[in-house]
């Protein structure tokens, strides 16, 4: 079994102990610096990272593979990459870049396994007469059309 496959298997095993946590990314450099990024439906606590780190340390042999291990949460400054992250951020304002390079900013109103919905308000000229009115806009975007999605802080 490859080293990365072994780490992935152990990480997924450790996440079974707390089903509200999920893996976002697993990176291993050429000199075996392992970086594991997790997220959670209810956020990630320091103890969650410690538990996963200890589980991996206990199940890996440093004499077989020398490594350095970092387990951390993704944080709000990192892009959203999986559907479960979108679901947990419902009601927050997101900035989305689509495949055409368009930037959209709006409230995440829904998400499912295929797409998300964003809503926002804009001022537009009245259809009749002078002045402007506030209009609510809504768009559905499939995950496959999203290049980058970030929570606006």
The sign one gets for the Cα dihedral 93, 96, 102, 103 is positive
What's the rounded Cα separation, in Å, for the pair 137 and 142? 17
Q: Mean per-residue pLDDT for 13-22?
A: 94
Q: Does residue 63 carry a pLDDT above 90?
A: no
Residue 21 or residue 2, greater confidence: 21
pLDDT for 73: 93
**Range scoring the smallest mean pLDDT among 17-26, 62-71, 139-148:** 62-71
Burial 47-73 (b: 16+ CB within 10 A, else e): ebbebbbebbeeebeeeeeebebebeb
The whole-chain average pLDDT of the chain stands at 93
- pLDDT tens figures, 70-111: 999 998 788 999 999 999 999 999 999 999 999 999 999 999
* 118, 89 contact by CB (below 8 A): no
Which is the CATH superfamily of the domain at 3-73? K homology (KH) domain (3.30.300.20)
Give the CA diameter of the chain: 79
- For the chain, residues classed under CATH 2.30.30.100 are 83-151
pLDDT for 77: 80
Q: Is CATH 3.40.190.10 the classification given to domain 83-151?
A: no
What's the rounded Cα separation, in Å, for the pair 84 and 67? 30
The sign one gets for the Cα dihedral 15, 20, 26, 32 is negative
- Cβ-in-10-Å burial (0-12, 13-18, 19+) of 107 comes to middle
- For the chain, residues classed under CATH 3.30.300.20 are 3-73
The runs of H, that is alpha helices, within the chain are: 3-15, 46-59, 83-88
3-to-30, 64, 100 alpha-carbon distances in Å: 11, 10, 38
DSSP summary character for residue 144: G
Percentage of the chain beyond pLDDT 90 is: 82
Q: Does residue 1 carry a pLDDT above 70?
A: no
């Amino acid at each position: 079994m490859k080293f990365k496959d072994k780490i992935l298997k152990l990480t997924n095993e450790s996440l079974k102990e707390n089903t509200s946590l999920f893996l976002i990314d697993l990176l291993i450099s050429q000199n075996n610096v392992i970086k594991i990024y997790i997220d959670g439906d209810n956020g990630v606590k320091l103890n969650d990272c410690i538990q996963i780190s200890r589980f991996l340390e206990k199940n890996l042999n440093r004499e077989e593979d020398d490594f350095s291990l970092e387990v951390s949460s993704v944080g709000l400054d990192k892009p959203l990459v999986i559907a479960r992250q979108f679901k947990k951020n419902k009601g927050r304002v997101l900035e989305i870049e689509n495949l055409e390079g368009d930037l959209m900013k709006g409230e995440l109103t829904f998400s499912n396994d295929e797409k998300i919905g964003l809503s926002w308000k804009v001022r537009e000229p009245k259809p009749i007469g002078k002045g402007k009115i506030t209009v609510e806009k809504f768009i559905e975007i499939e995950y496959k059309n999203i290049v980058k999605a970030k929570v606006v802080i």
